Chain A
Amino acid sequence: MRGVSTFKAFSRRLGVIVMALALAFTALSAAAQTHRGKTLTVLVTPGFLSKAWHTQAQEWAAQEGATVRVIEVADSELYEHMMTELITGSGAYDIVQYPPYWNGDVMPAGLLRPLDAFIEAGDIDWDDYLPVFRDNLSAWGGVTYGVQIDGDVFVLAYRKDLFEDPKEQAAFKDRYGYELTVPETWSQFLDVAEFFTRDTDGDGVVDFWGTADIARRGAVSMWHFFARLAAYLDSPHVYAGGIYFDPDTMQPLIDSPAGVRALEEFVASTEPNRSPPGIQSYDWSDVWNAFVSGQVAMVFAWPDLGPLSIDPAYSKIIGKAGFARLPGSYEVWNTETGRWEQREEAHAASPLAWGWTLGITSTSRNPDAAYDLIEYMVTGERSIEHAIWSDDGFDPYRRSQFADPRVAEAYSQIPEFMPALLANIEVGIPDLRIPGTREYYDAIELHISRALQREVTPEEALRAAARDWNNITNRRGLANQLRAYRDSLGLD
């Protein structure tokens, strides 16, 4: 009997100890959960761009005992939705995910919280960020308002199997008098596009084309113009985004001789001897699809093409895609001398088109928690996953993503992909980031579209676009716009 009562006493004690330990563990966990009970609401676009928020952000929420609500608004409605909520101060969102070319509308208007104090106190390892994403796209007037989660840049994707085919190389040399290589200049780009446009099955109908541009109005076709403009335009501030205006006078540079040549070649690229029929209605998804479905020899677009090209669900060209820096030009228009000049190396440039920035709204009731969530999302394993995942829409933005062997392993089928991304980022051209950028972009797209329709010449189109840009600048206030532009270039 004594043995039984001893066992009961022991069990009782053990139970008490286990309960005490459990309580202590819970208390310690709760103490570590600095944001326990808080709710954060994040505004993102639906589909693949929300994946990280439905997975990684929820892991953070579980660790912190917090709640992360993800509100998805279609890409085409994101601007008006976000701006309406921010302007009216509804307090509906704590974090907004938006492209940095809207910086000029949201940052100086006081719609986002300054993040410098958070960054100073936090563990985001700001030095690991690639400088252009950290310095150019996240700040306004020397104050940091955003954190990049997506390193968008254009990359040239080409059919490696065709470019390396000795028969193709010989035929190209016969026709154009120089070696077939990945185009180093935009003139070569046109030759290569023309060369590959052909009837592959001999039925008399062309069924394979050299390239495909984004040419649809409203589908961000201006970036296919800016990619060429930036290659032909040399100014001291090109790589800070100085291809849009003269930073002293705010006179548009788009109608410069460099602009005219860029648009002439954009128009030439959409000729039927280089591009598929109906190219004027192609948006980015058509361009991606044309490449991964094996209809065209090369395109330049966002890095998402890399993972897509090796994804069996989408790609018919697995193992056949190569990636490179965008073409450049040996001849550049010097904005300071006002003359065409020769360069010994090709002057290359690649638009840092779109991208995604995370900002904390000025009405957020939980800015500390919001910043901790942002920090969690862009650091550690999450950032590596962003570089590896093929379906999250977030492209590399940190040095560590390029150095991680797991990322290299993920792209072992396309070994040129990550080096090509880095090469393009190194010559990256930030977007225009001043108040009213969407209006400037709408105007240039409209006139590009007219030129692509052959309604007007490239020169006429750009003259009209420059006139519209001047009108927008004057209406919004020349001094304000000039100050904003110079600030975006880091000049003041």
Chain B
Amino acid sequence: MRRLTDPLWLTAPAVLFLIAMSVGPLFYSIWLVLHDWTIMTRLAPPFVGLANFSTLFGDSRFWMALLRTLLFVAVTVGAQLLLGLIIALLLNRDDIIGTRLLRTLAIIPIMVTPVVVGYIFRLLFHPSAGPVNHLLETIGFGAAPWTSSSQWALPTVMLVDIWQWTPFMALILLAGLQSVPQEQIEAATLDGANRFQSFIHIVLPSLAGVIAIGLVLRSIDAFKLFDTLFIITGGGPGTASEMLSYYTYLTGFSFMRLSYAASMAWVQLIVIMILAQIFIRRVLFRRDAA
């Protein structure tokens, strides 16, 4: 007979809550994928097995959206890492005036709700009333078709994402930089290493863990991008900026094809898990092994 103070009883409510809130929907999504849920069939959705996945494999719009999403993740997270690292190195220097203020200001873009960011940039990039085009025309460049051209739409959304999330990457890299052992750098300097060599052989390896965490967090987040895309381009023109999250949203909530949308969500989950595993194994485990 277990007593009420046993750990099992004490943790049971939390465990049950966790099961209900996370595992429950997961199983429901599996059930959805295996059935054909629509408005008309909602009371008794027919079992369709893996038909939703076979439809998915023939859906060129889905695959194009996936490719666009992977491109978006690669470009935005890559740029955020590079720019974030440069900013972090600058903010880490004590000989530059105002670094404390800059660190505080850097948080602002992260704190703004993505929907608000979307509306701000939609207005900024407005073809005729937007201040960005006005500025470009004033200084002698022509107006750019930020959101109205299929060549520009996706890079515009990338630009906004880079603007918003580079500070995040900079801040976590800055935290990593401040924990780099100074003794090693000083010892390397005494042994004749220049600043670049110290950076490559001491600073960068020390940052590997932080970089991996930053890459994983940002990649997962970028993969799921929805709000700013929804507001700025709405996936257009055509499907030029349509990414997986937006297509899934349309399918599930605009076309009410919940089963098919659930199969898309599962593919997204698998891709994100693979991406996360790559980052974690390649960077974190390699570092631990070293």
Contacts and interface: CB of A to CB of B under 8 A. Distances in A.
A453 B39 contact: no
A453 B237 CA distance: 7
Query: What secondary structure prevails in chain B residues at the interface with A?
Result: loop
Contacts of A109: 39-40, 42
Contacts of A295: 128
A277 B234 CA distance: 19
Residue among A217, A295, A480 with max Cβ neighbours from chain B (10 Å): A217
Contacts of A105: 39, 256
Interface string A81-93: 0010001000000
Given A80-B254, A435-B40, A455 B148 contact: no
B277 interface: no
B238 interface: yes
A453 B150 contact: yes
A455 B150 contact: yes
Contact of A453 (B38, B149, B250): B149
B237 A450 contact: yes
Contacts of B126: 278, 281, 286
B238 A455 contact: yes
A108 interface: yes
A280 interface: yes
Contacts of A238: none
Nearest to A450: B238
A439 B240 CA distance: 18
A330 to B, nearest CB: 33
Interface string B234-259: 11111110000000001001111100
Tier of interface size on chain B: 20 to 34
Nearest to B142: A277
A480 B41 CA distance: 13
B255 A436 contact: yes
Given A278-B126, A295-B128, A216 B234 contact: yes
A38 B66 CA distance: 50
A217 B256 contact: no
Nearest to A212: B128
Query: What secondary structure prevails in chain A residues at the interface with B?
Result: helix
Given A278-B128, A438-B255, A219 B149 contact: no
Contact of B39 (A87, A290, A447, A450): A87
Given A276-B128, A277-B145, A446-B238, A79 B150 contact: no
Contacts of B143: 277-278
A279 interface: yes
A281 B147 contact: yes
A62 B127 CA distance: 48
Contacts of B235: 217-218
Contact of A79 (B40, B145, B254): B254
Interface in B28-62: 38-40, 42
A438 to B, nearest CB: 5
Interface in B133-155: 133, 143, 145-150
Contacts of B255: 436, 438-439, 442
Nearest to B255: A439
A219 B145 contact: no
Nearest to B55: A475
Nearest to B252: A80
A452 B128 contact: no
A449 interface: yes
Contacts of B42: 87, 109
Contact of B236 (A79, A80, A87, A218): A218
B150 A83 contact: no
Contacts of A76: 230
A290 B42 CA distance: 44
Contacts of B39: 83, 87, 105, 109, 435
A218 B235 CA distance: 8
A450 B234 CA distance: 14
B149 A442 contact: no
Residue among B126, B237, B250 with max Cβ neighbours from chain A (10 Å): B237
Given A80-B254, A219-B234, A435-B39, A446 B239 contact: yes
Interface string A399-431: 000000000000000000000000000000000
B127 A281 contact: yes
Contacts of B127: 276-279, 281-282
A281 B236 CA distance: 9
10 contacts: A278-B145, A278-B146, A280-B145, A280-B237, A281-B126, A286-B126, A439-B257, A446-B238, A452-B237, A453-B149
Interface of A: 76, 79-80, 83, 87, 105, 108-109, 216-219, 276-282, 286, 289-290, 295, 435-436, 438-439, 442, 446-447, 449-450, 452-453, 455, 476, 480
Listed from nearest, the 9 A-B pairs whose CB atoms lie closest are A278-B127, A217-B236, A218-B234, A80-B253, A281-B148, A280-B148, A450-B238, A439-B255, A278-B148
